[in-house]
Structure 1
Amino acid sequence: MIKFFRSGNPLTVLLLLIYTLVVKFFYLLHPSTYLADGSEGLLYKLIVKWLHSFAGDSPLFFTSLAILLILVQSLLFTKIVNHHRLFAKPTYLPAMAYLLFTSMLQSWNVFSPGLLVNLIMLWVVSSITSLYTRTSARDVVFNIGFAIGICGLLYFPSVIFCLLLLVSMLIMRAFRLAEWIIALLGLICPLYLMGTYLFLTNQIALLRMIPNIGFSLPMITDYKVWGAMVACLLFFFLGWLLLQRPLKKMLIQGRKIWAALIVYVAVAVLIPFFGIHFSPAYWVLAVLPVSIFAGNVFWCIPSDAFANIVHLMAFAYVIVMQYFSR
């Protein structure tokens, strides 16, 4: 099966659709509504309220929407990866890895602020990759900052992704103070616009809901969370180690993009600790960039048979956790 995902044939999208139905079927059989644990942002609450107005509390609707978002994100992320030739040939392995690894934990398949933030972060990553080739990047960094600001309205701790932007600017470009200031202005702009809207509509009391942030170091006792995180981090480190040899043959831009993706993983892993209520559901923010390193693991295994065995082990873990565990 890996050889089909390894191929860049557009018909592989049909196989990905079937693959999605297989690895997500359990969640469609046991659907959930949406995540609401108190850490979500004001814009997310407005979106849920709008969806609730015509779908009600239908668990199947919200779970189907979440799975559709995951499938779309996997395809868009793969498009970015192939466009910048981060692998030697076009491949759908990152899409397969994202679909597989998000299936390891039920909370990663629930409609949540994390899934909406991931959708915006795809555009952020695509824009970051263009920083290296721009002579002037003031408009790009403002737009990236603005997008991260919108993420903050969905899930406020995601404003910490501004670290990804600033470090990526150091990686991709020479330091220019003006660009950093413009990036921070872009970050603040959505919060300012939302505050202005609430003030003009006499809903100023809702402003208190925007800076929804805290800090906690919880004791995680759920073995499913440990299993999912260990699997993700294991494939991340393996993908990073296997990247060292092909990295030497890449263009400078490709090396810098991979470096930015490592920063992306590091920041995304830390973000859930800054929520009002810690929830492993927000680690779905890290699964997206981890999927490209997991895809690199399957890409670098020379034997299709061995690659299929590794995939089968991960796939079997997903099925066991879904159907045969409590």
Structure 2
Amino acid sequence: MVNFFKVYNPLNVLWLAILLFALRIGYILQVPDKLEFTFVEPFARLLVPVVYEYVFSPGMNMFLAGVLVLGQAVLVNYLVNRYNLLSKPTFLPALMYVTLTALFTPFMVLSAPLICNFLLIWMLFKLLSFYKSDDAKSIAYDLGMIVAVGSLIYFPFIFLFLAIWIALAIFKPFNWREWVSGILGYVTVFFFLAVFYYLNGRLGRFYDIWAPLGSKFPNSIHIEYLDFLVLIPVIIIIALYFVKLQQNFYKSYVQVRKSFQLLFIMFLITGLSFYVRAPFNINHFILCAVPAAVFFSYYFVNATTKWFYESLYLLLLISIIYFQFNTF
């Protein structure tokens, strides 16, 4: 299957749709009677004064989530090919994104982190454009606004503001105006939110928005470890990706090397930012799927032993289908 998607063919979108359904069949057969969908933070509910949590039936919820995942997969694929991150056109990023977004059952339904992945992909388009940009002030300003909008939808997204400054440090010589532009973009969105709070007589509660940032990083998290055995092939593939990256790192173009550095940092940011959102929910980690899909693609596009990498991917598919019968 991996070899089939190594070739860039737009018709692969149809096979992606079939695979997306197949990877969710186990959960479709046991979907709960109700699925809650919350797409803005409580502090932003003033902007959306309607009841929407259970507006979709479970079947429609999963269908819409699948459509979003398929659209995001195509966008990730276009991003990787546009910036030539894998050295040749391929459909592997789309395949890997569809696969990773089926790892856990909470990934398969509509959620705020899933919607934020559109913003994350949009950010990556702009962040990777820093390399050839003479003046990045307007781009940094737009990125600040994107992070602010993402924070309204899902508050841990606020930490991706760090990705703006890190990308500027990686791709551009220091220019304080560009660094400040990101702040101004973020403040612009929350300034209008503050005005909205003021007009509704709730300005005193506006400052409570930032309270989660003072949360302590948890010393331990209660999880069912057997439910996470599906991550074993994921960890193996990530380890093999680092081996391949180390072998080819200095053979790549400077832009590609810097892009993978940024992607790794964004992977860490999205993975570690879960703690500001209580209670702990596994659907947060779907934010990691975008950079992880690029990492997986890099390994598979550079792997040479066909029987091994095809078997490894097949093991991942089997693990996903088997373990999705569990609930989290």
> Normalising by the residue count of structure 2, what TM-score does the alignment of the two structures yield?
0.89
- 1:206 and 1:249, CA in 2 relative to 1: closer, same or farther beyond 3 A? same
The equivalent residue for 1:207 is 206
Please say which of residues 233-242 and 260-269 is displaced more in the overlay.
233-242
Contact 1:145 1:185 in 2 (8 A): yes
State whether residues 269 and 283 of structure 1, in contact with CA within 8 Å, keep that contact through their aligned partners in structure 2.
Answer: yes
Q: Which moved more, 1:196-205 or 1:79-88?
A: 196-205
**Sequence identity percentage:** 23
**Residue type matched to 1:150 in 2?**
V
Say whether 1:116 aligns with 2:118: no
Counterpart for residue 67 of structure 1: 66
Question: Residues 25-174 of structure 1 correspond to what in structure 2 (within 5 A)?
Answer: 25-31=25-31, 33-35=35-37, 40-43=41-44, 49=50, 51=52, 56-174=55-173
Structure 1 residue ranges without an equivalent (≥5): none
Letter in 2 for 1:252: V
Partner amino acid for 2:270? A
Distance 1:99 1:81 in 2: 15
Kindly state the Cα deviation for residue 27 of structure 1 after the two structures are TM-superposed.
Answer: 2.9
CA–CA separation in structure 2 for the residues paired with 1:101 and 1:220? 23
- Measured at CA, do residues 108 and 143 of structure 1 come closer, stay the same or move farther in structure 2, by a change above 3 Å? same
Aligned residues: 323
**Superposed CA offset, 1:167-210 (max 9, x none):** 11100101111111111111222122122223335565763664
Distance across 1 between alignment mates of 2:154 and 2:100: 22
After TM superposition, the structure 1 = structure 2 runs for residues 167-186 of structure 1, keeping only pairs within 5 Å, are 167-186=166-185
Letter in 1 for 2:239: F
Residue 237 (structure 1) aligns with:
239
1:310 to 282, 287, 312: 312
Could you tell me how far 1:43 is from its partner in structure 2? 4.3
Pick closer, same or farther for the CA change 1:188–1:234 going to 2, 3 Å: farther
Alpha-carbon separation, structure 2, partners of 1:141 and 1:180 = 7
1:288 alignment counterpart: 290
**C-alpha displacement at 1:35, in angstroms?**
4.9
Could you tell me how far 1:70 is from its partner in structure 2?
1.4
What is the identity, as a one-letter code, of the residue corresponding to 1:274?
V
SS in structure 2 of the partner of residue 178 of structure 1: helix
What RMSD over aligned residues (CA atoms) do the two structures have, in Å?
A: 2.6
Q: Choose which of 278, 281, 285 in structure 2 pairs with 1:279.
A: 281
1:207-226 to structure 2, matched below 5 A, reads 207=206, 210-211=209-210, 213=212, 214-217=215-218, 218-223=220-225, 226=228
Task: Verify the 8 A CA contact 1:156 1:211 in the aligned structure 2.
Answer: no
Whether contact under 8 Å (2:150, 2:158) holds in the other structure is: yes
- 1:11 counterpart residue number: 11
- Partner-residue secondary structure (3-state), 1:143: helix
What displacement does 1:44 show? 7.4
Change over 3 Å in CA distance of 1:135–1:201 after alignment to 2: same
Gapped regions of structure 2 (runs ≥ 5): none
Q: Are the equivalent residues in 1 in contact too, given 2:230–2:323 (CA < 8 A)? A: no
- Aligned equivalents of 2:66 and 2:226: distance in 1? 20
Moved more, 66-75 or 125-134: 66-75
2:256 alignment counterpart: 254
TM-fit CA distance, 1:219 = 2.3
Q: Decide which moves more: 264-273 or 183-192.
A: 183-192
| Alpha-carbon distance change, 150 to 18 in structure 1, aligned in 2, over 3 angstroms | same
Letter in 1 for 2:184: L
Answer yes or no: is the 8 Å Cα contact 2:147–2:158 preserved in 1: yes
Post-superposition offset of 1:57: 4.7
Change (3 A) 1:179 1:277: same
CA contact (8 A) 1:66 1:110 kept: yes
Distance 1:18 1:45 in 2: 39
Q: Look up the SS of the partner of 1:248 in the other structure.
A: helix
What residue identity is the alignment partner of 2:174? Answer: F
Q: Distance in 2 between matches of 1:231 and 1:82?
A: 25
Report the CA distance between 1:247 and its aligned residue: 2.8
Deviations 1:217-263 (A, max 9, x none): 24232125533555444433321221223332322111111111011
State the distance in 2 between where 1:45 and 1:229 align.
Answer: 39
In the alignment, the residues of structure 2 paired with residue 26 and residue 50 of structure 1 have an alpha-carbon distance, to the nearest angstrom, of 30
CA distance in 2, matches of 1:271, 1:187: 18
Could you tell me the TM-score, scaled by structure 1's length?
0.89
Alignment CA distance shift 1:158-1:262 (3 Å)? same
Q: Structure 2 counterpart of 1:56, which letter?
A: V
